[in-house]
Amino acid sequence: MNNNPLLQSFDAAPFSEIKNEHFLPAITELIEQAKKEVDEIVENDDAPTFENTVERLEFSGAQLNRVTSIFFNLNSAETNDTIQEIAQEVSPMLSNFQNDLLLNEALFSKVKQVFEQQEALKLTPEQHTLLEKQYKGFARNGANLEADEKKQLRDIDAELSKLTLKFGENVLAETNDFELLITKLSQLKGLPSGSLEAASQAAKEKDKEGWLFTLDYPSYIPFMKYAEDRELRKKMSLAFGARAFQKNENDNKANVLKIANLRHRRAQLLGYESHAHFVLEERMAETPKKVLSFLDELLEKAKPAALEEFEELELFANELDGIDQLQKWDGAYYAEKLKQKKFALNDELLKPYFKLENVIDGVFEVAKRLFELQFSEVQRIDKYHEDVKTYEVKDYNDELVALFYADFHPRPGKRGGAWMTSYKSQQIKEGINDRPHVSIVCNFTKPTKTKPSLLTFNEVTTLFHEFGHALHGMLANTVYPNLSGTSVFWDFVELPSQILENWCYEKETLELFAHHYATGDLIPMEYIEKIKESATFHEGMQTLRQISFGMLDMAWHAQNPDKVNNVKAFENEAFESTRLYPDTPSTCMSTSFSHIFQGGYSAGYYSYKWAEVLDADAFEYFKQEGIFNKTVATKFKDFVLSQGGTQDPMELYVKFRGQKPNPDALLKRAGLLKK
């Protein structure tokens, strides 16, 4: 135990010292330590006060939180069989500890006493929020239940923690299990040289001859966009869509049904109509009815545009290749061809101007101009993988703002997609402002022997998106860690990320970093104009797609799922009003829909579109005053980025904007507003 680095005090995570065998004993020991801290609060004979109860509880278990964040971040970004086995063991342990805490009657009684006398206490707005969040945390997790009901809740939570982990492991296994090895170059017509080189390198790494394609996004997306061979596109598309839906050991159908039913049972036990009712009580949207109304309103505006776009795409595919019926594996391919015809613009034309290192410099420069931040790459910070880049972030007074980790390329132990996470929360304790350690994880194409990592424009916006989340974490300036950074209502958390994407479309921004990797030439102005013109290309279809995911999420979580016995049939019904392409019976979205069955987006997927309303309205304000306007940027930093979850998000938004968000801003930007 004495040699376990996770049980020592540390600032930056000591990755090079950590071995897999350290995790289980460390987490076991730290759970016991955290329990003792809670016992001290309960056994204190003094009358409960905000300081001796609420505040002490808030700061308890700090080392446990640090270690579990390291562990679960590694389980996402650098996992292996051993880590996955440990995760299956520690997840129920942590779930039980959380339940021990939230079902501790003596502790709840003390918090309740402080809660009931809050009007007499001279609390700051942040202290009020913390007290309310703590009280609700107990109430929403069964503190008011009878003993037998509390046991049921514990059992449900322990099972859910295992099932959601298993769901993610199955999706990762299915993604890693599929390979498409092509040995004839003639079958790869249309694919850009960068994709071919990456595929050739992937084959060599596995001692194979030819070109190897996988279901990882940097391999899969270009294949679906550019490969002329329709049968091969079909093979890739069906494999991607069939992940964890194949009657093998990785099949997630039973897991989907179990997770949905357990969540519903849990909500009912706590007195809520459904899981969505439970979740949305703590969201800006408030109720499933409001979410469905929001999605329906967007559907009404987007569907006519989507149908027009789809009809045009089908006609184009027919004229070009005699395709009578567009299938899912045709969409990206013909959309790319049509986009090229309309705008003479494609990823391969743009990618040379988006060298990864230049885009990183560009996003740092945007942060410098808006928020006066300075990023310096440093080598002395420990890393969990050699691909990871580490930075110190400072303000203009040379004060440390944050540590920043960036992990950009796919590898076998890393799940797909892109996300922001944290290794250490910001807090102010005993007068010291403890700064956060923040990370973004992406899956961009690796450099090859002849080319650096070149991003598609979509990947550029992804990097800006995740960096927006990172800014929310880095600029946090609150007292309490559970209200810090991205600890906000889930449908508010996407505002900082989505608003930052807007800068990618602006000439002023692109001039900062969009230089040709070989010649250094600035991206041509006509390309910038075309990027802006093409920004709303197929916006109707894209909006319909996002609405469909939101509706599927609500279908699973806003009603009782116990009568559902066929995952695919249920999903088809949920997709009915948003369907454009014919169904493919061998594929299923739900079995690999990690956002809602593994991540934190259950009953919350709508929040992407909800936050788009906020970000479109907020960016309109920047546009009015200038996209690097210091006054507007400072207001955004002071009222949104630094405040975390200390106040109601709508109140914070109005303080920044001077008004509530106008949905027309999104429709206008998307080109869906009737003139």
Which residues are the active-site residues? 466
Q: Which long-range contacts (CB under 8 A, 24 or more apart) does 585-588 make?
A: 586/238, 586/241, 586/242, 586/245, 587/237, 587/238, 587/240, 587/241, 587/242, 587/245, 587/328, 588/241, 588/242, 588/245, 588/253
Longest Cα pair distance anywhere in the chain, in angstroms? 82
Residues 6+ apart with CB under 8 A from 173: 250
Contact 408, 442 (CB under 8 A): yes
β-pairing verdict for 180-182 and 211-213: antiparallel
Alpha-carbon Rg for the chain, nearest whole angstrom, is: 25
- Nearest Cα neighbor of 403 from 371, 361, 369, 438 is 438
Contact 473, 402 (CB under 8 A): yes
Alpha-carbon dihedral angle through residues 632, 637, 643, 649, given to the nearest 10 degrees: 40
β-pairing verdict for 419-424 and 437-441: antiparallel
Burial class (CB in 10 A: 0-12, 13-18, 19+), 36: exposed
Separation CA 100–CA 138 (nearest Å):
11
**C-alpha count within 13 angstroms, C-beta hemisphere, residue 206:** 18
At 37 the three-state DSSP class reads helix
Measured CA distances, 426 to 373, 376, 384, 481 (Å): 17, 20, 21, 6
Q: What residue ranges in 214-266 does DSSP mark as E strands? A: none
Question: Which residues on adjacent β-strands are paired with residue 438?
Answer: 404, 422
β-pairing verdict for 427-429 and 432-434: antiparallel
DSSP 443-489: -PPPP-SS---B--HHHHHHHHHHHHHHHHHHT---S-GGGSTT-S-
Ordered alpha helix ranges (H), 78-139: 81-102, 105-116, 125-139
Separation CA 615–CA 226 (nearest Å):
32
Q: How many residues does the chain have?
A: 675
Burial class (CB in 10 A: 0-12, 13-18, 19+), 322: exposed
Contact 6, 20 (CB under 8 A): no
- Nearest Cα neighbor of 513 from 375, 373, 366, 361 is 361
Separation CA 532–CA 511 (nearest Å):
14
Q: Which amino acid is at 99?
A: N
- Give residue 649's Cα distance to chain centre: 19
